[in-house]
Structure 1
């Protein structure tokens, strides 16, 4: 055809690119997709006013980006001849396509994700579709494929049980004869947050401490509070019917067996368990904390050793060892004095400025009693001591500790209500008491802002070729910046496995930075584990102590929508040809037949126009000069012989 037509060659993806014929064999896959219709209008505009005869398209018919309305071709001025690559009847593939996926969910609340399964050529087959979180199977469903070209909706409903960002995938096993492997799996990330902090309080008796604590928690809209207060004990002697003495029975079996896992925090406020439930229920609480829950015990004459908790499972998880016998509560005045750790810990940070914070705590009212304990456990942090009035004696008052995946706290007094009541009486308000309660709750339930290790990426999604920047912030147990932490930083993905990175200290104290540049798309999990580096001679219990860990995800993408649905698009190619006066050919049509049909349809449509004028200087064109000189010489000879010269 090159003898009859001036052929121009172009590659089409999401743009139109001119090609030389000798580079055709090196043509590879590129671009974000195929914009066939856009390409036709681009070429028409480029050759506007020139005698363009027609367009020949060799393509599989995928038009997955740009203009998708083929009816626009009715006004297209050129015949389009299409040669379809591939036969749709022989195409075999199964694809998982995303339909509706949320990117966040609430803790302990069901979430539904919707996908679509598309199949070509696997009628009569039943395939499993699996939802996974990492390598763990969350749910599975079976999909029977009924037709040669088949589409079925898929929905999974599950309940997240942990806070954080997690990687999920919906996948189906590769079937025999599939032409594309990469579209059998669809990954997505889910950020799980709390809708509310669920707290259960059990208080041993009505008290000012319970009243102000409950009021503080109820004033926080992010807290969902359930509280039980003991109005009488089984040993109380009364002369009225049972039904008139209790507003509601204490559902111990339901609370401490079936429902405990639905709470984030359990608080015992001056409460002794001995009258109400057996010792095995304390094992349930211990397990609840070990699996990530939080527990706090507040002081009083029915708490700690006086409540019978010495040598029980609760003593194992609390940060103090209790006196083995009752009588530990002391009615002695004193004030809370911050320790060095308490000066920087978020629980006791009632204001941002350190010096102002210290002065505010010194201003807090005197307390009138506290619980004595045997000792503070190794690894626990004393945030405040009970400094006896007029004496140089101090006892632990506010102590915090991590226990396995959870956190516990001991507040060894029932007098903190005075920080509210008496400060209001001095017309200084109760905002510092409220902040103390809120900070304490958020530290116990591991609010993300109170994590000792925080992993951050500069953005959630990167393009292939970009470098992901990873920053890690590390805090000591007292929440001072951990400038000499031992940090292990890893990146994991499904293709390359786990790789360890080498973070370097950043300009901000306690912050470390690393970069990672994957060469393939996917969801990547970044995990940081930080340990304290203790000076020689320090307590061995603190040596190599784990400060914490954190994970985050980032996505690396390489848009390749060609592989999302690669079935040959014969219908579109036929429509393109019909609307423009061209013709569709299958890939099996002999080239001679294609060539003759194109010649026949273009016959009589050839136009000749001056398409370019180029001025030439005669003196710079030797062959033209010699030709012209020869013509003049020949004329002169002829004229001379004829007697005309």
Structure 2
């Protein structure tokens, strides 16, 4: 209980002060003049002034609040290494026992870092601030951390804590730990497909004697590409080839040393996004026709495509007597395109092209060889494919997947997805294909043909092949047996998905990874990995996933839509995961490529020393020497500002926080009591003066 005196003047302060001065002068004159009853008069004046000042006694009933002591227990990834988890559990048990006898103290246990999803490493102080968000600073008795010392958010300034109390740290781990790690020094994010990027790294060692060279293996997408030795502490560089578009995972793994606390950080992962240079497409139109600009407009609208387009306006068999020097036409550079620079193109499109004596037979041999070596050819045919002079009568027929039967069907029909087409990424899910027949516009002409290889993904009437896709050695070929795709582009009878179809088709031919009909893919969102198996088969094998630690998981896939199977894994680990299904393999990274949590894993007291010194706290290992038992100091309460640690003890502040539970006010000059005091004072002065 606290007792205080408070004043609530009945008149403004300035007049009250003036009256006080006047009263003091009158009292002084009376005393100095030795007037009878001078002191009684002074007392009466004082009582009057006090009555005007209106004093009152205030009584507060206060309840002392408990001290809050947060204990932050580090459960991050590095705390799972080398038996630190068991050490942490034992330290917590001993700390609980030590704190049981601490008077007037509420202990708040904070488990931090167990989710392991932060790209910024172990953030114990963030967890501490969250737990103390509802606690006034004066109630905080201190803070106690149980950690291996690998803390990445320790404040540089003690004022950032938000309270003034000692911070103590109990460090787990062994003092003689050894570790080897790989750190990237030059890590490009992008690379041109077909070229190489320079990558730099450095091998760091802790607890080792000498600087012997360390064997290092480099892998790309799980396949070994190089081996060499690196000297610890020195930067090593190498050239990493970028083999495909999309993410190329470059792994640098140093040999595991005997006695290391972990091999997790012996490997550094560098994801490099492979970027294609502009795809070069050669479009050869055999003659002007209504659908010619459909291909041109589509390809020119694609920013990733560099288009070279030639239209045969005057073949050799069409002579009108105009002298060559008066023609504004460009001669078709056949030798330059099909002999010298053919390998520079990613795709060659023949649009309604027939043999017209322009390309010698030897050039068709070159085109067939170009396909087998990894090139791509698309034949968008019309009646020309069924007539004499067809491309099928050239050496290009060696790679064409369908043979013309000599007839052209000319009647209205709607293209429909074949059973394979419903699964193939080129045609799967085309807008309008949900209904039977599809809701797109009809075509009116197609070439009757017979397939001898490949797959028909679009069928015409009577299930005749309309769009045939085939692989030839390293290359790919597509054969579109109608020249009426332009009807969709013009919006005839509602049009159709010509942009989706033709763009997917051209990019499949140019080996776009996302359009592979047989592939295993994985994508991570948070700690959830979604596996996708694209296949034309009727089922998909389970996926075996290898976690960064070496543990494995088996994931069953379920059909999400025709040709696409999916499965999910909630992974407990950060880092690079490998997935295989017996045929294909893929890599997926969860979290940052090289988690900061595992960059430096040796236990240390240095990171917490600055904040401990600034707050009067301490940092000490729970195991002083290798082989010792775990021992923690005593915990005692100390006054604010007193020493907070000793050789075998640590101190927490005894807070003085309290809360008012009740209040009482007694005015001195209010009511009968005040009236009696005033009357008594003046009556005494009058009686003394009248004698």
Q: Quick check: TM above 0.5? A: yes
Distance in 2 between residues matched to 1:558 and 1:114, nearest whole Å: 16
Q: Is the contact between residue 62 and residue 569 of structure 1 (CA under 8 Å) also seen in structure 2?
A: yes
After superposition, the C-alpha distances for 1:280-330 in whole angstroms (9 at most, x for unaligned) are 5522312315xxx56435356589972565484x4343221368xxxx6x7
Partner of 1:298: 381
Q: CA 1:98–1:207 in structure 2 vs 1: closer, same or farther (change >3 Å)?
A: same
Asked if the contact 1:341/1:383 (under 8 Å) is kept, the reply is: yes
Aligned positions of 1:506-525 closer than 5 A? 514=567, 516=569, 522-525=575-578
User: Could you give the per-residue CA deviations for residues 335-373 of structure 1, whole angstroms, max 9, x where no partner exists?
Assistant: 463465459766595745635746721xx4x55xx7665
2-structure distance, mates of 1:83, 1:443: 59
Residue among 448, 452, 475 paired with 1:377? 452
Q: Which residue of 2 aligns with 1:19?
A: 92
Alignment of 1:48-127 (within 5 A): 61-64=149-152, 66-72=153-159, 92-97=178-183, 117-120=203-206, 121=208, 124-127=211-214
Seen in structure 2, the aligned counterparts of structure 1 residues 372 and 43 have a Cα distance that, compared at 3 Å, is closer
Q: TM-score, normalised by structure 2?
A: 0.56
Distance in structure 2 (CA, Å) of the matches to 1:39 and 1:556: 20
2-side partners of 1:86 and 1:296: how far apart?
68
Paired with 1:295 and 1:206, the residues of 2 have a C-alpha distance of 18
Q: Name which of 268, 286, 305 aligns with 2:372.
A: 286
- Does residue 441 of structure 2 align to residue 360 of structure 1? yes
Contact kept in structure 2, 1:521 and 1:556, CA below 8 Å: yes
Per-residue CA shift, 1:216-243, capped at 9, x if unaligned? 4324445432334557779999976899
Pairs aligned (count): 532
Question: Could you tell me how far apart the structure 2 residues matched to 1:69 and 1:102 are?
Answer: 32
Partner of 1:630: none
- Give the TM-score normalised by structure 1: 0.59
Match of 1:542 in 2: none
Q: 1:267, CA displacement in angstroms? A: 1.5
CA distance in 1, matches of 2:508, 2:655: 82
Distance 1:551 1:74 in 2: 45
Are the structure 2 counterparts of residues 321 and 286 from structure 1 closer, same or farther at C-alpha, using a change threshold of 3 Å? farther
Give the secondary-structure state (helix, strand or coil) at the position aligned to 1:63.
coil
Return the match for 2:410 from 334, 337, 342: 334
Q: Does the 8 Å contact 2:374/2:474 carry over to 1?
A: no
Secondary structure of residue in 1 paired with 2:151: coil
Q: 1:220 to 1:430 in 2, by over 3 A?
A: farther
Residue 154 and residue 573 in structure 1: after superposition, are their counterparts in 2 closer, same or farther (change >3 A)? farther
Cα pair distance change 1:247/1:13, threshold 3 Å: same
Change (3 A) 1:175 1:410: same
In structure 2, the partner of 1:137 is 224
Pair 1:419-2:487 in alignment = yes
Equivalent in the alignment of 2:477:
408
Higher mean displacement: 486-495 or 552-561: 552-561
Q: Is the 8 A contact 1:218 1:225 kept in 2?
A: yes
Distance in 1 (alpha carbons) for counterparts of 2:657 and 2:457? 90
Contact 2:453 2:470 in 1 (8 A): no
Distance 1:301 1:117, change over 3 A: same
Contact 1:337–1:384 (Cα < 8 Å) also in 2: no
Equivalent-residue separation in structure 1 for 2:126 and 2:455 (angstroms): 67
Corresponding residue SS for 1:288? coil
- Of 600, 605, 613, the match for 1:565: 600
Tell whether 2:621 aligns with 1:555: no
Q: Does residue 180 of structure 1 match 2:268? A: no
The whole-number CA distance in structure 1 between the counterparts of 2:525 and 2:593 is 14
Distance 1:281 1:194, change over 3 A: closer
Q: Which residue of 1 aligns with 2:22?
A: none
Q: Distance in 1 between matches of 2:342 and 2:556?
A: 45
Shift of residue 184 of structure 1? 0.7
Give the C-alpha shift of residue 13 in structure 1. Answer: 1.6
- Describe the shift of the 1:144–1:211 C-alpha distance in structure 2 as closer, same or farther (beyond 3 A): same
2:525 maps to 1:460: yes
Does structure 2 retain, via aligned residues, the 8 Å contact 1:489–1:526? no
Q: 1:118 to 1:336 in 2, by over 3 A?
A: farther
Q: Distance in 1 between matches of 2:307 and 2:568?
A: 43
* Native 8 Å contact 1:526 1:551 kept in 2: yes
Q: 1:489 to 1:274 in 2, by over 3 A?
A: farther
Max Rg structure: 2
Q: Deviations over 1:165-191 (max 9, x none)?
A: 665423222245544322111346667
- Let me know the Cα RMSD of the aligned residues: 6.2
**Aligned equivalents of 1:236, 1:122: Cα separation in 2:** 85
CA distance in 1, matches of 2:360, 2:194: 31
Q: Distance in 2 between matches of 1:338 and 1:550?
A: 39
Cα drift, residue 554 of structure 1: 6.3
On the 8 A contact 1:493/1:522 being kept in 2, the answer is: no
Contact 1:99 1:116 in 2 (8 A): yes
Which structure ranks higher in relative contact order (CA pairs < 8 Å, sequence separation ≥ 6)? 2
Within a 5 Å distance, the mapping from 1:238-257 to structure 2 comes to: 246=330, 249-250=333-334, 251=336, 252-257=338-343
**Cα offset, 1:113, TM superposition:** 6.9
Select the residue among 506, 509, 518 that pairs with 1:441: 506
Paired residue secondary structure (1:285): helix
Distance change >3 Å, CA 234–CA 211, structure 1 → 2: same
Structure 2 gaps of 5+ residues are 1-68, 77-87, 98-110, 635-642, 659-691
Query: 1:456-493, CA deviations, whole angstroms, 9 ceiling, x for partnerless residues?
Result: 77853427xxxx665657668xxxxxxxx232232242
